[in-house]
Amino acid sequence: MAVHLLRRILNLPVVLFFVAVAVFLLMHFVPGDPALTILGTDATAEEVEQLRELLGLNVPVHIQFLRWMGDVLRGDLGVSIITKRPVAESLLERIPVTLGLTVVATIVSLSIAIPAGVIAARNQNTWLDQLTMGWALLGMCVPSFWLGLILMLIFSVNLRWFPLTGYVPFSQDFFQALRHVALPGLSMGLVQAGVVTRMTRPTRLEVLSLDYVRTARAQGLSARVVA
């Protein structure tokens, strides 16, 4: 296990490098000129060329990539052409929101998926197993944004139990922050629960087929005690 984990850690920089190369090349395949997008269609050719030179877009792609990698390693992610603000600054502002939503979605997912996967495994090939796996498959197929809109329509617009928009930091008011992230966290967690359930069931079945489990069952221990 330790060797496998160490191998994964050592391979991580290589994977990140190839992902960076793929993303950088894909951005160059997108139609359009970033300089023209920033300046608008009324800009002259000279103005566009000056901005391209300022942004380093007039050099070969491999030189652009090396410069970009150097900036990223220094923590400089550039300036957004939409907000005109440093990208790193915008990301740092959104990290608390993202972490809060991720934690809520993970709690919802694990609270549903682990019991559901265990129940499906203990009742293998029964109607309860098929019902649970059918629900898990449905959860995987439903888009989280669509489910989120349905939850907002029911619980925010009609019932008015949760706020429709906005965000409150957890450090400011925990319960109000929880009310704001409840619906998006629930919509993401339900979709993730489908995936985790389908992973939990075969893992549980594999454990139940181990020798020590079968030995315990053969000695008369009940399924509840063994499980």
Every domain of the chain and the residues it spans: 2-87, 91-226
Dist. CA 184–CA 97, nearest whole Å = 11
Strand partners, 86: 79
Nearest to 86 by CA among 98, 74, 96: 74
Q: How confident is the model at residue 167 (pLDDT cuts 50, 70, 90)?
A: confident
- What pLDDT score does 132 carry? 86
Q: Is 117 or 84 the better-scoring residue by pLDDT? A: 117
Question: What confidence tens digit (pLDDT) does each residue in 111-165 have?
Answer: 998 888 888 888 888 888 888 888 888 888 888 888 888 888 888 888 888 888 8
The pLDDT score that the predictor gives to residue 223 is 59
- CA distances 98 to 15, 47, 78, 92, 177, Å, are 24, 38, 21, 10, 13
State residue 93's pLDDT score. Answer: 81
Lookup: tokens for 220: 């008369």
**Mean of the per-residue pLDDT values of the chain:** 81
Q: What span, in angstroms and rounded, lies between the C-alpha atoms of 183 and 22?
A: 34
Share of the chain above pLDDT 90, in %: 1
